[in-house]
Chain A
C-alpha cells in the first residue's frame, strides 16, 4: 500500500505542500484536513478584501475541484481533536479516525487575545463589538459591521493592524490605532521608522496611541491604561498571534514556541511527523510569514519524495499591503549583526536603514520611500557583495539628470547617425532632412532638430 499522508491545516503552507507534491508526482495518498468551511484561500490578502481592492473571488488559492482533479482528499470543516501517534491516527471532533503513515502539521497560528476586561463574555464568545481578523469568516463579519462614519479602534500596531486600520479608513471609518509598544511596528522597526510611520498615519487621518494598552471595554468603547477613553462602534484585535501548537503538545511532541523541527522539517520527537509554516520552530525561530512557509513546503515535498533538499532557514521580506503606507522590512533590521547605514528624513517622511555585513545586505527597513525596494530586495535575496559606497548610494536614490547643452559632437539622430554640429550647419529643417537624413528613421529626434535649427541659443536635452 502506498504511503498515507495526512496534512492538518488548509492554509497557505498546506496548499503549497500539496501543490509541490503534486508537481513532483508524489506517489502516496494525500488527505488535507481544513478546519474552515471555505476552500483554501490567500489569507494574507484578507485586508485587501476588507479594503475593497480585491474581490473575494480573487483570493481563492485552489478550488475544491482542483483537489478532486489531482486525487487529493480535501475535507473542509474537519477539526482535529487529537493525534494518536501510537496507532498513527488522527481523531476529528466528530469522532472520525483517519490513519496516517506520515503526518504534516500546518496548523498556522492563532490570534492572541489581549487582557482586556469585558472582551470575552461569560459564555466564552467575544463582545459583539469585537472582531478578530484571522479568517475569511472574521473578514466577512468585519466587512458587514464596517459602516462608513463608524468609529473603529484597532488594537495592535503591527503589520496586520496597520493594514486593517488603513482598510477601514479607506472605507470611511473614523479609525484609531492603539499599540502597547513605544512605537508602531515595534517588532520590525526601530523608533525613527515607527515615528515616520505614525506621522504618515496621522496625516492620513488615523490617530495613533503608542505606549498605551486597552484595558477594558466601556459603554462607549474602550478605556486605555493612560486613562483615555476612545469611543468605538467596533474593535478589531490584531495584537499578534502565536503558533498553534495545542495539538502537538497533547500528542507529546517537543514544542517550545512552535513545533520543534530539524532541517527535514521533521519533529525532533517523531520522525513520522513534520511541521511547516507558522506552527513550526526551526533553529529556535518561528517565522509567521508566507514566503518561509512556502520554502518549507517546497523542501518538505522534496524530502517526502526522496530528494536531497534540506531547509536552512529563510530570508524574510515583510511588506505592508495598504494604500498610501509604504513599508518593507527585510530580515531583522533591529537585531541583525552588521554595520548600519541609515537615513531618516522626517520632513519628507522617509526612513531607510540597511544592515550590512561583509558587504552583504543582511537586513533592511524602508519606510515612506520604496523607490529602490525592488533593487534592494534583489541584492538582499541574492547575497550580493557590495562595494563600500553602494549602501549609501542605494539610500540616496537616483540623482535627477541635469539638462545639458548639446555639444557639436553629440549624436542627435541615432537612426541616421547625425550630430548636433552637422544639424546646426544646415540652413533649414527640410535641407537637414534631405542632406543628412536626420529625422527620417524613427522620427524621435524631430523636435530636437527643430530646436537646434530654430533657436540661436544652445538647445538642451534632459536625457543623460
Chain B
C-alpha cells in the first residue's frame, strides 16, 4: 500500500508482511491494524453524525465486519445495510490513532458480500444492477453509456425522466448530475514536450466516466503539467482505474481493469508518474497493489504503479510553477475531496497552489474535509443521506462568503454544483486545477 508522505503509515504487526492469504480476504495489514475501540473515529464519521447509531459508525462497522469474519454475525440485509451506508470517505482513517486500514477492510468485506441480497427499499435493485454492470463492462461501454444517456436526456427528456423515476431517486439524482455537463472529447495532443529538458515524463489518466465529462479539466491539467516542465503523454489506449468496481466490491473486475491499464501504460515507455486529476481514481491507483497477493506477478507491478501515481495538484506543488500570468480576483472556498485528504493524505498542496494565485482570496470553509455526499456512486445508491450531506456542504459554502467552490475531484465538484444550483445560490463550482490554469494560460 502506498501512502502519501504527510500521512503516517498504517500499522503493521511484527509478523505481517502485508500479504493476502487469499484474494478475497483482508490483507494482513488490514487485519492486523487493530481497532482498540477508542471511539476517536465517531466524531469524524458523517453517517454517525447523521444517524447517531453506532452500527453506522466506523467502530461499529469494524465490529460488525469482525463478527462476520468470525461467524458471530451473518451477512443479513440489515447488517449489509450498515456497511452500505458507509460513504467510504475514510475520514475515520485520518482520525484513527491506531492506523486501522478501514478502507481496505470495507473493500474486502464488500467483495465477499457484493451479491448478497439487500434490504428492500434502500437502493433500487435496478440501479445497483446497472452500476454493477457498468463496473464490469469495458470502459468504452461506460463512456458510451454516459454519452448516450446525456444525449437521450437532451433529446428525449420525458422518456429519460420517466425511466429514471421508475428506477428510483438514485437514478434521478444521477440524471440531475449528468444534466450539468455536456460530454465532449477532450482536445489533447497525445504527446507534448516543454521547450526545455523535461523535469519529468508523465502520463495523464483520463478515466472512464470523467473522460467525456471532464474534457476541459483534462486540457487544463495538461497545460499546467507542461508549464511545470513535464513531458506529458496521453496514452491513446487507456481504460478505467477500477475504482468504481472496487467501491462496489467487484474486485475481480477491478483487477482486470488495473491490469489492462498497466499494460496500456507499459506501451508508452518509461514514466515517472501517472498523473490523476480525480481524487477517487488517484486513491484507488495508489492502493492498487492491495488487489493482488504479494507473490502474484502483478503485485510488484501494481506497487510500482501505486508509487508513481500522483495527484496533479501534489505534483504541481512539488515541481512549482513559474509566476502566474494573470490575477484571478475571486473569493474561493476549498472543499477537501475525501479521497485526496483522507485516502491520500494530501491536504496542504491544493491550498498552497490556490494561495499562489494573485488576486485569489481563499475563504475559510467550515468542515472543509467532511464528505459532500458524492463518494463515488454513493449519491446514486444512498440518495437520501447523500442529499443531506450535500445540503450541509451547501450551507457551509453559503456561510463561507465565497463566490466559487473548488473541489479536487470531479465527482465532488458535480455534487456541490448540483447542490448550489438546487439551493438557488449564485455560487459556482470548479476544480482547483481550472483556477490555476486560468492564472497560467497564455
A and B are partners in one complex rather than unrelated chains: no
B residues within 8 Å of A by Cβ?
none
